[in-house]
Amino acid sequence: MKYICSKCMKKVDIKTRQSKCVCGGLWKLEFTPPLFNINLIDMSTWGIFRYRAFMPIKDDIWKDITLGEGMTPIISLDRNVMLKMDYFMPTLSFKDRGAAMLIAHCKTIQVDSVVEDSSGNAGNSIAAYCGKAGIDCEIFVPEGTSQKKIDMIKAHNAKVN
């Protein structure tokens, strides 16, 4: 897999540590998912990674990351409104889907430490997935963040500032 510069179209290896291209352009992932085919869905897996054929992840790296995110129930509020029950996610937040993908990518490119700023849910989610993946994690929270949110982040062995 490669990154491609959004400005000059230069391609670099996905393991680059450069935050942007030397020309100043931002990196885009060079990835085109296959056309939808139900046979590409791994029905033996329950969660977002059952759709990994359509995701830019390599091999079985997801097995080191997953906490069982995704596949949360949908309920009807009435005939016109349906609700996705994402409080069934591992850290009680929809942010687990993105955190799982982010940390899977970090694991792929051999990142050993993640730093994030968050007022709560994203920090907790990233801390949880880093903990599962064996990646050090440091979360910066704003002054006034509730102690409960800080405790949740620390429960995953993340450092909180």
pLDDT of residue 60: 92
CB 135 within 8 A of CB 156: no
Q: Would you give the end-to-end CA distance of the chain in angstroms?
A: 34
pLDDT of residue 131: 98
CB 114 within 8 A of CB 122: no
pLDDT of residue 11: 98
Fold type of domain 35-160: Rossmann fold (3.40.50)
pTM beyond 0.85, yes or no = yes
In the chain, CATH 3.40.50.1100 covers: 35-160
Nearest alpha carbon to residue 54 among 39, 66, 65 = 39
Task: Write the pLDDT tens digit of every residue in 57-75.
Answer: 888 999 999 999 999 999 9
Task: Report residues of the chain scoring pLDDT below 50.
Answer: none
pLDDT of residue 52: 95
CB 36 within 8 A of CB 49: no
pLDDT of residue 9: 98
